[in-house]
Structure 1
Amino acid sequence: MGTPLGDFVRAKRDSIQPESLGLPSHGRRRSPGLRRQDLATRAGISVEYLTRLEQGRDRNPSVAVVNALADALSLDAAERGHLRYLAKITGGECVAHAQPAPPRREVRQAVLQTLRLLEPGIAVVTNRLGDILARTSGYEAVMRTSGLLDAESPNLTRHLFTDPRAKAFFADWDEIADQQVFDLWLAPSVESSEWFTTELAPVAGPEFTHRLNRHVVPQRGELRIDHPSAGALRLLRETLELPDDAQQLLVLLPADEQTAQAVDRLRDRPHGRLRAIS
């Protein structure tokens, strides 16, 4: 049985073309990407050790090995951070509990007050699992036709993988899906593993589990929406991390005048006020 660390190293190795690192292609091969021999040589470790690491038979690589693998795979800053995180949880350093704790859904009053100051802008508070915990009227105005807010307890991750309307609404659905799945790795491990193995995976299907095991580190560019009544919207994303709460405050800003005008029209329609879910 593999590990998140081994899966990530193998996925990155498979995605690298040898020529991009100045290595010979070795002709046609059954497996894509970089050979284990080439990666092991670049990282200064044995092929046998790399094999054990990828297969999950070695779960405690040293910091030096993790850094050497990051260098050998030419990882960027975000990917290096993810590799270090996976090494930590694979090594069992995360705190384990007898009973999985439910995700925190309460939003602090100070955060709610901050959200009110952003009215009538487009802003939302979420946790790493994708739960929509509080939102402004502007966020509701933009998202109401997506189906995301129809559920009693809205969850963006579940919506993306189980509601067919999501693929029509989010112009870059593949990228958004990768981002949401990646964030599951950053959630408290006990909460996230219990939730996505017992609740999400059975209904989300293989498209979700495939993305989960690919460990694609997202770039998080513009959010593009194909709004059924407002047309194409381009929104810039600004995220404020709330580490003590394991939550995020996401603010969406119109990227062009056309989007700004469309959002203003959506706001003029009847809508609710700031909502917090607990």
Structure 2
Amino acid sequence: MPDSPLGEYLRARRGQISPDTIGLVSHGRRRVPGLRREEVATMAGLSVDYYTRLEQGRERHPSVQVVEALCGALRLDGDARLHLFRVVGLVPNLGGGAVPERVAPELLRLMDLWSHTPAIVVGRAYDVLAGNRLGYALFAGFEYGPNLLEKVFLDPGARGFYPDWSRVAASAVAGFRVAHGRAPDDPRVCGVLRSLLERSPDFAALWERHEARGKRLESKRFHHPEVGELTLRMNAFDVRAAPGQELVVYHAEPGSASADALVLLGALAAVAEG
């Protein structure tokens, strides 16, 4: 079977949709999990032969109308929908240049003004490119490299640092799938992907699911070695001046124990800097 990113994506996504969740009545024993090819083809208004050729890599250039129909059949929206359009080449990616990523001085100065708010900037491959004092302090006990994915999957302390490690790991891989779709030929993105596929079975298993979902507003729990438990809200913003970069900001509920812990963390970081 010819190698096809589109085929891999379609197979993975239909395999994760339960017929019951979309109102399909099952007849007989299913040999594969999820939907059958003919079911996806019917819901998308395509012939089974044409859909089969898409999955097998014998057809690699579907029209916009076909991709829209597939998004509907596979229940893809938001980042997942955009990712499918990128996979088939209907949305331009960021290219494959090896130019080092730099954070704009104006953004660095802005982050430094947020003395009570942890903030970091991550690059195309989830490298931590910059952070303010509190942002670095939040991840201070989590030392494996400058890459957030490597920290989550390769750092021995990750499961202790993230009490909800499984949810954090799944979200990180889904976000990296979006990042990879934006810049599939970027040397650093490819290098991080190759390294984690080789070194982390947990990452490899999640990568096989082909979930694509960017960072969003959500709560995240941390167990910090110096200040204990924190529950923080996370916001992520695309950096317009540098496509592929994201500003990630964390904040605590005012008056909460987590807010008090952030104040303490900031004081400890200030003392450590002298």
TM-score normalised by the chain length of structure 2:
0.85
Alignment of 1:128-139 (within 5 A): 128-139=124-135
The percentage of aligned residue pairs carrying the same residue is: 34
5+ residue gaps, structure 1, are: 274-278
Alignment of 1:1-278 (within 5 A): 1-88=2-89, 94=93, 101-102=97-98, 104-148=100-144, 151=145, 154-181=146-173, 182-183=175-176, 184-191=179-186, 192-202=188-198, 204-218=199-213, 220=216, 221-245=218-242, 246-255=244-253, 257-271=256-270
| SS, match of residue 252 in structure 1 | strand
| SS, match of residue 225 in structure 1 | strand
Aligned residues between the structures: 263
**In the TM superposition, what is the alpha-carbon distance from 1:29 to its structure 2 partner?**
1.5
Cα offsets for 1:1-36 (capped at 9, x unmatched): 443322222222111111222211223212011111
Cα separation, 2, equivalents of 1:215 and 1:35: 17
Cα separation, 2, equivalents of 1:136 and 1:208: 29
Question: Match of 2:167, as an amino acid?
Answer: E
| SS, match of residue 85 in structure 2 | helix
Cα offsets for 1:101-149 (capped at 9, x unmatched): 336331111111211222242000111211111111111222111224x
Aligned Cα RMSD in Å? 2.5
Cα separation, 2, equivalents of 1:156 and 1:95: 21
Change in 2 beyond 3 A, CA 1:240/1:206: same
| SS, match of residue 236 in structure 2 | strand
Question: Match of 1:196, as an amino acid?
Answer: V
